[in-house]
Amino acid sequence: MSEYSQLYQYCTTERQREVIQAIIQEGGKAQASRVLSMDIRTVYRILEKLRARANDLPIGHVMSGQSVLTDADGNVKLTWTKTAKDSDVARAALHEAAEALSERIKKAKPVAPPKHGEDELLNLMVITDYHLGMRAWPEETRQQAWDLEIAETLLIKWFHAAINQSPKAHTAVFAQLGDFLHWDGLEQVTPTSGHILDGDTRFALLVRTAIRVIRQIIALLLQRHQEVIVLMAEGNHDLASSVWLRELLYSHYENEPRVKVDRSADPYYCVEWGDTSLFFHHGHKRRLANVDDVFAAKFRDVFGRTKHSYAHTGHLHHSVRKETNLMMVEQHRTLSASDAYASRGGWMSGRDAQVITYHNALGDVGRSVISPERVMRLAV
């Protein structure tokens, strides 16, 4: 039995089985990649994963080498596999998975733009720390309940209210500043520290809901604006999911020229609007006190060209505005209810999200602050 026939028993997805079958039938990896119209790197990554599974490596580890113990005569007495956690391999695999999945996604068709709009205006919709998939029990938090259904309903209604209350601007920026998903994989834990989280659903349903609600939001924004810019920022709760969200949305709207998805893997983002520059970061790497110099350094050309600069962060769920020598820096609240961890720790904050309107020559010219209570009143 060939190695590839042996690896077939370790396949867990139809895509893996398809690759192994093609290698066996076509006689090699390169031939299989051509037949499947697949990047050869994807074939190698699938094989690497299956070999790791066959060698019973721990989840999240890769083979880093093999050690052999021999006696004085050179006879092999013992061999063992050395493994290591490899975040670069994991991140690369996520990129590959997102690109592979996006190949089969039906592309969005262009839709006609609205007839009216003020060309000099941009509406910024900031959503941060939404924690889709989190569960909050009112008896435990002394606040409103929160689950997947509540979160999806509230977000769509919020965008209806936000669009109705904002001017007919030329461009909309949907700035999702991270922690959109409450957890980042099959286990309901934080990705770096492994803290147990209160999850409401299964990860597959969470992914489906996230994609569905974001597409609905973009469709609403396209009805009112000539152009829509989409930011899916990296957060500390969804380090990996922010990757596939960006890649999938980028692929889905590839044929829609009015939607621009920022595909950058760097967790600092920028939008230039005439003499106005807008900067974005979740806030998990650099905080309010010192994020402005990072933006000025990373986006030196944009910062130098513009007269009015504004930075937006989330992460801590509290509303703070601070004017520095470089720019106005703002930390945003969340629409999400508090979970048990925040409630027990006494970390309380108000709940709202904002639409901020920027002029291409004058900077910040207006805003609407919309709370969940306001949303429900407007929806009646």
What would you measure as the largest C-alpha separation in the chain, in angstroms?
86
Lowest mean pLDDT among 48-62, 96-110, 169-183: 96-110
Where does the pLDDT of residue 41 fall: very low under 50, low under 70, confident under 90, or very high at 90 and above?
Answer: confident
Question: So what's the pLDDT on residue 144?
Answer: 92
- Overall pTM surpassing 0.85 (yes/no): no
Pairwise CA distance, residues 256 & 111, whole Å: 8
What is the pLDDT, as a whole number, of residue 271?
Answer: 98
**59: pLDDT confidence band, cut at 50, 70 and 90?**
very low
Between 116 and 103, the more confident residue is: 116
User: How many Å apart are CA 135 and CA 343, to the nearest integer?
Assistant: 13
Question: DSSP alpha helices (H): ranges in 62-202?
Answer: 87-102, 138-141, 148-165
- What are the angstrom distances between the C-alpha of 53 and each of 40, 46, 237? 20, 11, 27
What region does 315 belong to: left with phi over 0, alpha with psi -120 to 50, or beta? left
Q: What is the pLDDT of residue 55?
A: 74
Sign of CA pseudo-dihedral 286, 175, 363, 257: positive
**Helix, strand, or coil (residue 226):** coil
Share of the chain above pLDDT 90, in %: 64
Instruction: Look at residue 143 and tell me whether its pLDDT is greater than 50.
Output: yes
pLDDT value of residue 235 = 97
Lowest mean pLDDT among 129-133, 166-170, 204-208: 204-208
Decide: 268 and 284 in contact? Cβ < 8 Å: no
From the list 55, 40, 45, the residue with the least C-alpha distance to 3 is: 55
Cβ-contact 347, 154 below 8 angstroms: no
SS3 string, 316-349, reads: CCCCEEEECCCCEEEECCECCCCCHHHHHHCCCC
Residue 101: which pLDDT band, with cuts at 50, 70 and 90? Answer: low
Q: Mind listing the pLDDT tens digit for each residue in 228-286? A: 999 999 999 999 999 999 999 999 999 999 999 999 999 999 999 999 999 999 999 99
* Residue 132 confidence class, pLDDT cut points 50, 70, 90: very high
The DSSP code for 191 is T
**What are 301-350's pLDDT values in tens digits?**
999 999 999 999 999 999 999 999 999 999 999 999 999 989 999 988 99
Taking residues 201-223, what's their average pLDDT? 93
**Residues found in the chain:** 380
pLDDT at 60 over 80: no
Mean pLDDT for 145-160 is 96
**For position 71, what pLDDT does the model report?**
64
**Predicted local distance difference test score (pLDDT) of residue 27:** 86
Residue 188 has pLDDT above 80, yes or no: yes
Phi, psi torsion values for 261, nearest 5 degrees: -100, 125
What average pLDDT does the structure give for the chain? 88
User: Buried (b) or exposed (e) across 316-347, using 16+ Cβ within 10 A?
Assistant: bbeeeeeebeebbbbbbbbbbbbbeebbeeee
Q: What percentage of the chain exceeds 70 in pLDDT? A: 86
Query: What does the alpha-carbon distance between residue 80 and residue 245 come to, in Å, rounded to a whole number?
Result: 38
pLDDT of residue 80: 55
Higher pLDDT, 70 or 208: 208
**Average pLDDT, stretch 52-60?**
64
Beta-bridge partner residues of 66: 81
Q: Which two tokens stand for residue 256?
A: 């829609």
If you compute the radius of gyration of the chain from its CA atoms, what whole number of angstroms results?
24
Domains and CATH numbers, the chain: 3-84 (no CATH), 118-379 (3.60.21.10)
Q: Please report which confidence band the pLDDT of residue 3 belongs to, taking 50, 70 and 90 as the band edges.
A: confident
CB-CB contact of 311 with 292 (8 Å): yes
The candidate with the shortest Cα–Cα distance to 266, out of 251, 286, 252, 248, is: 286
pLDDT of residue 67: 59
Confidence (pLDDT) at 98:
57
Cα-based distances in Å from 58 to 26, 81, 163: 31, 11, 48
Report pLDDT for 79: 55
Q: What is the mean pLDDT of residues 106-132?
A: 91
